[in-house]
Amino acid sequence: MEKSKIAKKIEYFAPLEMQEKWDCSGFAIKTGRAEIQKIMLCLTVTNDVVRQAKEQNCDMIVSHHPLFFVPFDWKNIDIYCAHTNLDKAQGGTTDILIETLGFKVSDVEEFVRYVDTEITVEKFLMKLKVISPNLRYVNNNDVKTLKRIAFCAGSGSEFIQEAYDNGADAFVTGDLKFHTALKSPIVVFDIGHFESEILVLPIFERIIGEDIKFIYAKEKSPFINLDNKN
How far is 31 from 107, CA to CA, in rounded Å? 40
How far is 202 from 68, CA to CA, in rounded Å? 24
Tell me, what's the pLDDT at 61? 98
Tell me, what's the pLDDT at 228? 60
Arithmetic mean of pLDDT, 84-88: 97
Average pLDDT for the chain? 95
Tell me, what's the pLDDT at 192? 95
Tens digits of residue pLDDT in 16-52: 999 999 999 999 999 999 999 999 999 999 999 999 9
Task: For residue 78, give the DSSP letter.
Answer: E
Tell me, what's the pLDDT at 155? 95
Tell me, what's the pLDDT at 110? 87
Domains in the chain: ranges and CATH: 3-86+198-216 (3.40.1390.30), 90-191 (3.40.1390.30)
Give the H or E element holding residue 42.
Answer: strand 38-42
